[in-house]
């Protein structure tokens, strides 16, 4: 009698493990994201283009609506910007999202995170990028647009510095 109870308990345990594994497996996703801009360095106000590839690894046969959540966070996980959408997924899907950086974003290291959710099951991916301040934009545009004027201004700056240093040296003698 005890052996039969043990066999029944074992069969119930195997069934429950199979059922839990099957239910969990039907909603498994693989998410891969990539920043497809040429550089991983951005300036305030620029747009980041994120390509996301989602694959269903489960046993879902129907088209389901999954929630996509894109966020940009700083090094301290503070939310900078983000958006959320719902898309239809059958077996796989490739989508592109455009995220604009705020004009007042500071220089530093940031992450763009993509989270795919369906009925409490979540998978995510992230990519790192860098932001430079607007000062570099203005100076580099000026340098490329007016290289002769930039060189002349830099030369004049050094001549004035040399003149001031030499006048201080002669004054102290």
Q: Is 8 inside a domain boundary?
A: no
Contact in structure between 105 and 47 (CB atoms under 8 Å):
no
Predicted structure pTM score: 0.63
Q: Which neighbouring-strand residues pair with 32?
A: 53
Contact in structure between 110 and 128 (CB atoms under 8 Å):
yes
Q: Is 14 inside a domain boundary?
A: no
Share of the chain above pLDDT 70, in %: 77
Residues 64 and 111 placed together within one structural domain of the fold = yes
Query: What is the per-residue pLDDT for 101?
Result: 94
What one-character DSSP code corresponds to residue 102?
P
Domain that holds residue 74: 28-132
- Tell me which of 30-44, 52-66, 126-140, 150-164 is least confident: 126-140
User: Which residue stretches of the chain are H helix?
Assistant: 2-25, 134-145, 147-171
Q: Assign 143 a pLDDT band (cuts: 50, 70, 90).
A: low
Please write the tens of the pLDDT for every residue from 65-110: 899 999 999 999 999 999 999 998 888 889 999 999 999 999 999 9
Residues 110 and 167 placed together within one structural domain of the fold = no
Query: What is the per-residue pLDDT for 17?
Result: 46
């Amino acid at each position: 009698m005890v052996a039969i109870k043990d066999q029944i308990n074992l069969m119930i345990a195997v069934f429950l493990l199979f059922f839990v594994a099957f239910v969990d497996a039907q909603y498994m996703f693989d998410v891969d994201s990539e920043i497809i801009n040429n550089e991983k360095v951005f300036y305030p106000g620029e747009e980041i283009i994120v390509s996301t590839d989602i694959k269903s690894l489960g046993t879902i046969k129907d088209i389901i609506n999954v929630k996509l959540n894109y966020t940009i966070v700083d090094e301290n996980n503070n939310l900078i910007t983000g958006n959320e959408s719902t898309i239809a997924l059958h077996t796989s899907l490739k989508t592109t999202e455009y995220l604009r950086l705020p004009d007042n974003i500071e220089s530093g290291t940031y992450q763009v995170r993509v989270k795919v959710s369906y009925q409490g099951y979540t998978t995510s991916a992230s990519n790192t990028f860098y932001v430079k301040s607007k000062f570099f934009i203005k100076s580099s545009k000026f340098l490329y647009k007016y290289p002769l004027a930039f060189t002349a201004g830099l030369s004049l700056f050094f001549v004035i510095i040399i003149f001031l240093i030499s006048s201080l040296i002669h004054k102290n003698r």
